[in-house]
Amino acid sequence: MQLPPRLYKRNPDTHKGNYGHVFVIGGSAGMTGAVCLAANAALRVGAGLVTVGVPESLHNIFEIKLTEAMSLPLDETKERTLSVKAFDTFHEFIERVNTIVLGNGASRNPGTKELILKVCSELRLPMVVDADALHALADDLESLTRKRIVKLILTPHEGEFARLIKKTPHEVKQARKDLAKEFALRYNLILVLKGHQTVITDGELLLENTSGNAGMATAGSGDVLAGIIGGLLAQGVSPFSAAQLGVALHGTAGDIAMQEKTQLGMIASDITECVPQAIKVMMQDVL
């Protein structure tokens, strides 16, 4: 597998609007970093535009932390998390968006959970569902059975997946491939089961990633992966290919970061900074 040439051989007569608009929905008090990591990763992988939808009282924080990405203040709960009322606020804005990355740092507030389920059920856009959005879905898997035009991409680690399927992490580890494939087929989605040798499956085809290292077991690494996949989706890569390419890019970037930072010293933003070098590697060859 190689990185598709259309991703890195751009037409000279072009502009940012040609490369997709990612909408990252998340953030809460004490959890602003997750959204920023996802947004920056989407930009690093080539998305033309990225907007973060965040609680309005935290908006100024994101304005400071993010330089290239835009921010959209949204209705919030009294706990300073996103409110279900935000859905009506960004409904018109969604028409300018190509892809959604949902759940990073969003919290498990009941009002936020209601928003997450509404986004998953009612919006017909390519979507990466991560972090706190997975916890919301775990309590309402029926929302995944509603008819969708585009498949969701869910990106749980083994603990989050165990909660989704009501099993223990040990049970997941013992049969991760079979359980992943069964879940993806049942709910007609793409599952990226993160961990050592991350699994990507649509319920029929199953791939296992071999890149990456233990230094990537650090806070925010999953947010970076969600942003990478979202950035690829926004550029028109099909959901399964975006998941496959995203995982490979993420792992390759982590391996490059390890060479400079070591496994011990690596942090999530190091992975993002090494995405351009990973792209160079994948332009020629991929694990």
Sheet bearing 49-55, strands edge to edge: 70-74, 49-55, 21-25, 99-102, 127-129, 152-154, 190-193, 199-201, 206-208
C-alpha angle 103-24-135 in degrees, rounded to nearest 5: 5
**Phi, psi angle pair for 179, to nearest 5°:** -65, -40
Tens of pLDDT along the chain (287 residues) come to 678 877 888 889 999 999 999 999 999 999 999 999 999 999 999 999 999 999 999 999 999 999 999 999 999 999 999 999 999 988 889 999 999 999 999 999 999 999 999 999 899 899 999 999 999 999 999 888 776 667 899 999 999 999 999 999 999 999 999 999 999 999 999 999 999 999 999 999 999 999 999 999 999 999 999 999 999 999 999 999 999 999 999 999 999 999 999 999 999 999 999 999 999 999 875 43
Q: What is the rounded distance in angstroms from the CA atom of residue 73 to the CA atom of residue 54? A: 5
Structure tokens at 267: 């942090």
Q: What is the rounded distance in angstroms from the CA atom of residue 84 to the CA atom of residue 145? A: 21
pLDDT for 286 equals 42
Q: What is the rounded distance in angstroms from the CA atom of residue 201 to the CA atom of residue 243? A: 9
Q: Tokens 């759940």 appear where?
A: 103
Structure tokens at 271: 């992975």
- pTM of structure: 0.96
pLDDT for 207 equals 97
Q: Which domains does the chain carry?
A: 19-281 (3.40.1190.20)
Q: Which parts of the chain are beta strand (E)?
A: 21-25, 49-55, 70-74, 99-102, 127-129, 152-154, 190-193, 199-201, 206-208
pLDDT for 263 equals 98
Q: What is the rounded distance in angstroms from the CA atom of residue 212 to the CA atom of residue 257? A: 10
